[in-house]
Amino acid sequence: MKHTYAWLLAGLTVLGGATAQASEMPERELGLLLGGGWADEDLVGGKDDEVNPLFGLRYGQRLGSDFNLFGDMVYGPYDGNRAGVGDADLTTLRGGLEWLFSKQQRYNWFLSGGLGLMNVNTDNGPDFTRPMASLGLGQSWGVGANDAFRWEVRADQSFGNDSLPNAGLTNFQALLGYSWGLGAPLDSDGDGVPDRADQCPNTPKGAKVDAKGCPLDSDGDGVFDGLDQCPDTPAGVKVDTRGCPLDSDGDGIPDHKDACPTVPAPGTVDGCPPKAAEPAPAVEPAAPRKLTLDGVNFDHDSSKLRPESIAILDNAAATLKEWGEVKVEVAGHTDSVNSDAYNLKLSQRRAEAVRAYLIKQGVAAERLTAKGYGESKPVADNKTAEGRFKNRRVELIPQQ
């Protein structure tokens, strides 16, 4: 029996490697189980090496990110030749936990442990129901948007079988299963694409995505569709954090159409003031009061910039260069999660990370200072997820 069991375990491992999608499992699942079982000689006599068919049902529910709660019932008719016992019907009913000890991109390894009951009905011998303990090892593979394929090998040990020579029965099972997810598929970033199919799992809220879950940028300006307030910007035109063409002098004429981009001349065609007998001195452009870097995001509880922030910071660096020699404070803010002291330090690190990147893009270091304000200056209600998202921000504030 041991040799047959080992070969079946190896075969199941190979079979498990032949299919795949992603490892995120649904919140709840209901499944069917098929497989083979072996009982020890105390029950089936000399037929303990023979494989007996098994059929079962399973229910699973996620508990956090590392554990599943489960319950299953497995039935099998066992052929036996032990004198006074004959054939037997064996049913196991168990419940317990699965520990996801190795979570991969396409599947999860798990160890299962549980308690339950073993019921045995024989042709000629005793019938009994006894408590049992169970240990198992297996894999679970994502299928489609919300289903799962699984395999598991396990050993069940019953206790207190007074009607048999030994104190308990050992029952081995090798099971294949298919589970159907109950409820909506997991979609962590809320972009409408389930995590299993989402190749860009950290899409900013409000951005439009393609079928793979990756943000769209129709005009190629680095600001995602859905967040881009000027979605038809011509190719190559520098934009601000809203995705709109830069207007350095604030005269309503974008820089790419403004023949005098540093001189405000509202109402003119080319952005230049009308010629006078004596030309007026050039007026230094007035820097905006504050520039909020919408879309600049960091890894959770970290000052490491996310990839989607790079294009926004590149545009911000271009804007700062247009401001001339104006000195700017890089101000970091957080929501109210965690303590005041912790948030103050986190906002300082994030402000310094943005300052360092802007310097790397050519903005003079002496023009930039970094300061973290923690949660002291909210712009929205910290009681809601949307408000906390708005409060986690970085701003560029010109210093007069």
Of 155, 182, 209, which residue constitutes the final position of a domain? 182
* Shared-domain flag, residues 235 and 110: no
Q: Which stretches of the chain are assigned E, i.e. beta strand? A: 28-39, 52-63, 67-78, 88-103, 107-122, 128-143, 147-158, 170-182, 291-292, 328-333, 368-372, 393-398
Question: Among candidates 56, 54, 58, 51, which has minimal Cα distance to 96?
Answer: 58
Mean pLDDT over 32-58 rounds to 92
* Shared-domain flag, residues 78 and 154: yes
Mean pLDDT score of the chain, rounded to an integer?
83
Percentage of the chain beyond pLDDT 70 is 88
* Structural domain includes residue 268: no
pLDDT tens for 224-279 read 888 888 888 888 888 888 888 888 888 778 888 878 888 787 878 777 888 765 56
* Shared-domain flag, residues 241 and 357: yes
DSSP 8-class letter at 59: E
* Structural domain includes residue 190: no
Specify the CATH number for the domain of residue 73: 2.40.160.20
* Shared-domain flag, residues 240 and 355: yes
* Structural domain includes residue 267: no
Of 142, 159, 182, which residue constitutes the final position of a domain? 182
Residue-range definition of the domain harbouring residue 154: 2-182
Whether 85 has a pLDDT exceeding 90, the answer reads no
Whether 160 has a pLDDT exceeding 80, the answer reads no
pLDDT tens for 171-193 read 999 999 999 998 777 777 878 77
- For residue 94, name the pLDDT band (cuts at 50, 70, 90): very high
Whether 10 has a pLDDT exceeding 50, the answer reads no
* Structural domain includes residue 227: yes
Specify the CATH number for the domain of residue 329: 3.30.1330.60
* Shared-domain flag, residues 16 and 104: yes
Of 42 and 37, the one with more pLDDT = 37
Whether 21 has a pLDDT exceeding 60, the answer reads no
* Structural domain includes residue 358: yes
Longest dimension (CA), the chain: 123
* Shared-domain flag, residues 123 and 152: yes
* Shared-domain flag, residues 113 and 243: no
* Shared-domain flag, residues 224 and 364: yes
Show Cβ contacts of residue 309 under 8 Å, excluding neighbours closer than 6 positions. Answer: 293, 295, 296, 297, 298
* Structural domain includes residue 278: no
* Structural domain includes residue 263: no
- State which of 3-7, 70-74, 367-371 shows the largest mean pLDDT: 70-74
* pTM exceeds 0.95: no
pLDDT at 70: 97
Q: What residues pair up with 332 in beta bridges, in sequence order?
A: 372, 394
* Shared-domain flag, residues 372 and 310: yes
| Total number of domains constituting the chain | 2
* Shared-domain flag, residues 91 and 204: no
pLDDT at 284: 56
* Shared-domain flag, residues 130 and 37: yes
Q: Which stretches of 64-127 are assigned E, i.e. beta strand? A: 67-78, 88-103, 107-122
pLDDT at 9: 45
Of 122, 152, 182, which residue constitutes the final position of a domain? 182
* Shared-domain flag, residues 301 and 341: yes
* Structural domain includes residue 317: yes
